[in-house]
Amino acid sequence: MVCVLFVCLGNICRSPMAEAVLRDMVEKRGLSSAIKVDSAATCSWHVGEQPHKGTREKLKEFGISTSGMKGRQLSTDDFETFDYIVGMDNSNIQNIREMLGQPDHPKIFRFLDLTPHGKDVPDPYYTGDFQETYELVVEGCEALLNKILSEIK
């Protein structure tokens, strides 16, 4: 089984959105037994909370569930558990590497580096633009799923 972990600052906006979107893509392709998806935060501010209202509403527009999702903080065990640890921005990448004691491991990378954008995913907690974040997340999830499928063949 391939395991993917999305990580952002609080685990209430970007990373749970990516988790839900990729999980939806995986389920629709019948790959749920082959690919596990989760998300986490670099901080502990929202541990145990459901995704942000804006994230839930945006995903609901597209029929994507966030049922059962609760915020959690990144742990050192995650490095062993997950094959891909995907940070939503450069700051997240720095924090992930520091928290996991892995300064330069290839399984840790910035989400949109898989796309032509090669930029950070803006945090809608601050921008208020959940549509822009959703569009970038969908593009990034498609690129990541293609990467995973090409590597497991």
18 and 111 Cβ atoms separated by less than 8 Å: yes
What span, in angstroms and rounded, lies between the C-alpha atoms of 137 and 4?
14
What span, in angstroms and rounded, lies between the C-alpha atoms of 13 and 127?
11
| Sheet architecture: strand order including 35-41 | 35-41, 2-8, 84-87, 108-110
Tell me which residues are annotated as active site.
8, 14, 123
